[in-house]
Structure 1
Amino acid sequence: MPAVMNRRSAATPPVLPGFSYVRPLGSGGFADVFLYEQEMPRRVVAVKVLLADALNPEVLSSFAAEADVMARLSAHPSILTIYQASISADGRPYLATEFCPDSYGVRYKQAPASLAETLDVGVRMASALETAHRAGVLHRDVKPTNVLIASLGTPVLADFGIAASLSAADDGDESFAMSVPWSAPEVVSGSTSGTVASEVWSLGATLYTLLAGRSPFASDDKTKNTRDAMISRIIRAHYTELGRADVPPAVEELLRSTMAKDPSKRPESMAALAEKLRWLQYELGQVPSPIEIAGGLGAGVSAASAGAPRGPVITTVNPDSRRAARAAAASGRDPDAATRRASARRPIGLVVGLAVGAVVLVGAVVAVLLAVGVI
């Protein structure tokens, strides 16, 4: 998570065991982000904390879903790594992730990116999103701000806060916060809350933004960049060429295809888009970026545990202890099961102890008799 502050002042950072507060990083509609130092292992981390006045069932469910999705996907090298998710002492849920010192949401406003860098970002983000799609997850908020820059300078995809399963995302009645400048026509019109094709559009719009220093349908006249005016231009989907001397027609054509008004005319998948971007790298004499698509990340939690209460991590105890027996009784399980197991094991331990003692005693007697010459 990048070191960027929004206009709203951050709330008081929570006290987190094993972490020392450093400074605020940013503020959003439902959460604040702080920089902490983790004590063991020693490292800086970004901690996303839900606002106390935003703690309703819908927001809590979304936050838990984000933690679960990121835990499943963060094995991918181009997806932000999650370290821990829990609830602070004052009741606010939090998410601890790797700290990324910068983001493309900041960089594109400072200066357009080079073509080589943009193509590299495109291949890596397409790989990350293809991995998410194969795991059955849509990101639904692909934009420059959510492409962070890790400590080693590589791009990573962040913020799965409004992610949805591929099977549920076509529900047009679902309410979610979209980022209009990078959303597809079918999304801003309300036809869908997200599809693979709409994410192809969003990634294409993001790459265009890196090269142009502005979003694809933003006007140079800032008074014309109201939400309604932007949506109207997006729905018309008239592509404006970048006009950069170092951007060849083949790159313009690929970006145009990602933002085709008809979803069926866009690249059919993120994997297909990644291959097209790699081919452009090859044709331009650049070293093609690796396409890294992870498999086997689709296994989710069981249906029984999916709706279970979520809370702080609780240290486990010896299953044979009295504390375990009391906990079992409180949860409605057999209150005497743990005690019976412990009691059943005590006679066995006693017999073993007596046997060992007898062997030691016999050995001592034999040693004495040998010493005095009796045997």
Structure 2
Amino acid sequence: MLNLSLSLSLSLSNLKNIEERIFCNGASLDELAVLYIFYRENGNIQQMRRILHLMEAHTAHAASQLDGCKTVVMRKGEAAFTRQENGFSFSIDSVSAFLARPEGFMHYARLLRLPEVGEVVITTPLAREAADLAAILRLEALRAGKACRVLMPDDPARRAAGSITAQEKQDAAWLEELLECPREIMLSSLMGPCNIRCRFCEQAYEKIPFRKMDFGVFRETVAALPKDRFIKTIITPYMEPLAISDHRDYLEYLLKERPGLNVGFNTNGSHLTREKADMLVDLGLKYIIISMNMPDADSYRWFTGRDYFDRVCAGVRFLHEAKKRAHARFPVVTVQFLKFPPAIGQEEALRDKWLQHADQVWFRN
């Protein structure tokens, strides 16, 4: 059986915990996938359908929210993997060959990591002749946060998929190159002490000296990065970047030279002023994760040793306003909390509050 890289040893306590998180809308797609496999192995068809329904609810708008969304079409036919104008196509001759070939299931799984892929389409003949494989393909797509559907025989989208041409087979080389790229790149251009002391962080207990990468070396490093690849690229991962004036120089150069990369960073948000928010939008930053961690001023002060909660809240709003003024899609703004008292139990309320100003709200272990 195919290894989906999920932990299938689900104790009753873990089962109860995931079900409780489902109740408060806090279960991740990976947790839902684990639960689906657990119910499948125990033959509980009703619960399997319920979990798939929940996963589809998570991903209902995945395709519609992406401009120029790419579709992955899975069909029955002579084995082939091709790039098409509006997406990618797999033709599957046999289940065993698809699972075993290098350009088979592993390529499919890696395709699902691409941000421009928003939907998977499983054609009806494949779903009928290989129901077990279709279930795996559907689960993996939903787990990756992609929309997934099975085409009916008279669906016009199925006819539009067309046949595979020689040109499309040649174009597949482009995707082969893309799939060989790393998923994530970290540039340690600046390192040093942080301006807060979070209780879980090593910086609260040991002194980290300030270090700066030579800018010439930084330019050479940037020149080695792929062009036109939306790879997550983290800049200045070991400090509070917005507290250092040099940060803008490194960030601006990287975004200018590699505008196609998914460039961003984590920040505690205490130095996120209105001017810096405008600057980040103007530069074309792709993402920013603001680690608020605690849900209120008192718990924030206890957790960090600083009275910066209101400043961080204001910074999130500044970014929201800057994006609105510029009619900008980026940066994608994530507000992050810890799965730790007093945030536990307030997940739904915190999501409702902060999704008014941010694109995502995360709860980190």
What TM-score bracket applies, with the shorter chain setting the length? Answer: under 0.3
Q: Which has the higher contact order (CA 8 A, sep 6+)?
A: 1
TM-score, normalized by length of structure 2? 0.21
TM-score by length of 1: 0.20
Which of these two proteins has the greater Rg computed from alpha carbons? 1
